[in-house]
Amino acid sequence: MLRRNALGWSLVELMLAIALGLLLLMALLQLAAGHVDEQRRLLLESRLTQDLRTAIELVSRDVRRSGYWGDVADGVWDSHRPTATLAANPYRGAVLNGPTAAPWLGYGYSRDLTEDHVSSNQEKFGLRLNPASQTIEWRLSGSAVAPDERDHWQTLTDPALLRVTRLSIRLDEQRQSLLGHCPQTDCNGQAGCPPERIQRRVRIELDAQDTRDRRVQRQLATETRLRNDEVRGACPR
């Protein structure tokens, strides 16, 4: 009886090796695709975070200037001039209005090289969310401290890169009586008495997602104390 020597692989062995090779190749391709997708997502997250930080930093710096007045000393009581009429800060006040889903913040400050004591349209600023374009808008001019649709607004975030899904603004006020600094401490029903110092803090929160990949989302928040306290009211006469 003749014994035949088997040389090479059989068809079954060859097909099995090809199947195993394909499975291994698919696993490697999936791993590589997952790695590329993760790197892309991390890059988008980094860009989104950077864009949000830039926007929120610009807003914070501008909001801190709220109420700045070049001649603030004119509104401070002087013991050497107890009967002098104190000037009111024309840039005072900060207003938060609009719907909860799209709040508006309005404020003003002086931009004069030489103070003219007039709060012009170009010295009123603000912040809002435009729900239609999902962008943060910055007010460049307005007719009053409270923002209005007719004011001049400029887009602060690029809708081609990110969409702001939520803007939250909280305006907190802390009032401190200044009656103890007055020559007389009995108001006797005088309107606007006693004088008060108003300290304000603004907290801003932003939620945004990348326009190219909605899975990429970020939230940033900042809290700012307004540098220029407002003095309201008058000492007893």
Cis, peptide link before residue 194, omega less than 30° from 0? yes
Identify which has the larger pLDDT, 80 or 123. 123
**What separation, in Å, do the N-terminal and C-terminal C-alpha atoms of the chain show?**
134
- In degrees, rounded to 5, the angle at the alpha carbon of residue 94 between the alpha carbons of residues 91 and 90 is 15
What are the domain boundaries of the chain?
Answer: 43-232
**pLDDT surpassing 60 at residue 153:** yes
* Per-residue pLDDT, 7: 60
| Cα(218)–Cα(204) distance, integer angstroms | 14
Q: What is the largest CA-CA distance in the chain?
A: 134
At 16, the pLDDT band (50, 70, 90 cuts) reads confident
* Average per-residue pLDDT for the chain: 85
User: How far apart, in whole angstroms, are the C-alpha atoms of residue 147 and residue 85?
Assistant: 31
Q: pLDDT (tens digit, 9 = 90+) per residue, 123-132?
A: 999 999 999 9
